[in-house]
């Protein structure tokens, strides 16, 4: 059986946002913070505007690569800022929280469920053009 590789690439412009922990009210009701909901909506909108309605079918193992490019802090001097470009970002948010926000936002949009993600690569760097670049590759069996 021959495998067809399908790939989807898109970009979310702006500073990456990590998925925040659910908040719990005094009555015990859990909810997702608004900042997380807003960012996930932006991710979905970027996906739909750049990719359209392309979606991987259920049962297809996926490889997802997420490259999160963070802005250099405004308080950083010009020399230091130039030295930071392209270097690893080791501050918050954590790489796994950035990935969780992206993967959860794409549930039901790019794939039926993020449990299909068999391989995940996440990188965090500094950039003067903050964004998140997402590549999703699936191996689809030929009928």
| pLDDT, tens only, 31-75 | 889 999 999 999 999 999 999 988 899 989 999 999 999 999 999
Helix (H) or strand (E) holding 3: strand 3-13
Q: 2: pLDDT confidence band, cut at 50, 70 and 90?
A: very low
Measuring CA to CA, how many Å separate 75 from each of 36, 39, 110, 124?
26, 25, 38, 20
Question: Does residue 20 contact residue 36 with C-beta atoms inside 8 Å?
Answer: yes
Domain count, the chain: 1
Indicate which CATH number applies to the domain containing 21.
3.30.1330.70
DSSP 21: P
Boundaries of domain holding 69: 3-141
| pLDDT, tens only, 68-107 | 999 999 999 999 999 999 999 999 999 999 999 999 999 9
Return mean pLDDT, the chain. 93
């Amino acid at each position: 059986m021959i495998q067809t590789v399908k790939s989807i690439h898109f970009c979310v412009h702006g500073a990456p946002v990590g998925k925040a922990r659910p908040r719990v009210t005094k009555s015990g009701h859990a909810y997702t913070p608004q900042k997380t909901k807003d960012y996930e909506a932006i991710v979905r909108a970027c996906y739909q505007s750049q990719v359209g309605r392309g979606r991987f079918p259920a049962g297809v193992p996926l490889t997802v690569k997420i490259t999160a490019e963070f802005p250099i802090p405004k308080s950083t001097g010009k020399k230091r800022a130039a030295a930071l470009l392209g270097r690893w970002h080791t501050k918050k948010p954590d790489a796994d929280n950035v990935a969780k926000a992206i993967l959860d936002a794409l549930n039901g949009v790019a794939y039926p469920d993020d449990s299909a993600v068999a391989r995940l690569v996440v990188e965090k760097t500094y950039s003067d053009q903050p964004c998140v670049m997402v590549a999703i590759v699936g191996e689809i069996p030929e009928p």
